[in-house]
Amino acid sequence: MAFCSTLVLGGARSGKSVFAENLVLASDKPKIYIATGQAFDDEMKERIDEHKVRRGDEWRTIEAPLDVCQVLENDCAGAAVLFDCVTLWISNLMADERDVVQEVERLCTLLGDLNCDLTIVSNEVGLGIVPENALARKFRDEAGRANQMIAAACDRVVFMVAGLPLHMKGQ
């Protein structure tokens, strides 16, 4: 059985998560949501709760702020999986002082041997101004490199703008 990987990329509030959720919901496979967000404050808790309510009970949620690759390797066989999102994962990896490039390379290697349909959500952070501080620039650079690597490894890439999908790679 052939499995498919899709990267859904876009800016904040571009509609990428809803679009990605609908891609997964169209599958007749069991649905798994790999969540990378962490509720460090009330506002983020509200955002996470909003996502959970929108998804409903049809999804199995696995919280994986750092170990996304391990979850993909061990917990997702035969499922339709949504990994939301790469940029939060990168933030978590940076905060934990892990090697971001190594983790993204590991993910890209896994994409070649998937045993699930995987939809990946990521923010395009490189369309704005150059950040004023070194940490923000490092994050922007890590995210940009990761998006390029993941896009190259995925079967399909969709760029979201104002709720509209632009199909950039694949069918």
Report the DSSP pairing between strands 164-169 and 117-123.
Answer: unpaired
- The tokens 């939060």 sit on which residue? 88
Q: DSSP string of 80-113?
A: EEEEE-HHHHHHHHHHTT--HHHHHHHHHHHHTT
| C-alpha–C-alpha distance, residues 12 and 9, integer Å | 10
Residues in the chain: 171
Catalytic residues: 51
Give the Å distances, CA to CA, from 116 to 35, 91, 119: 16, 25, 10
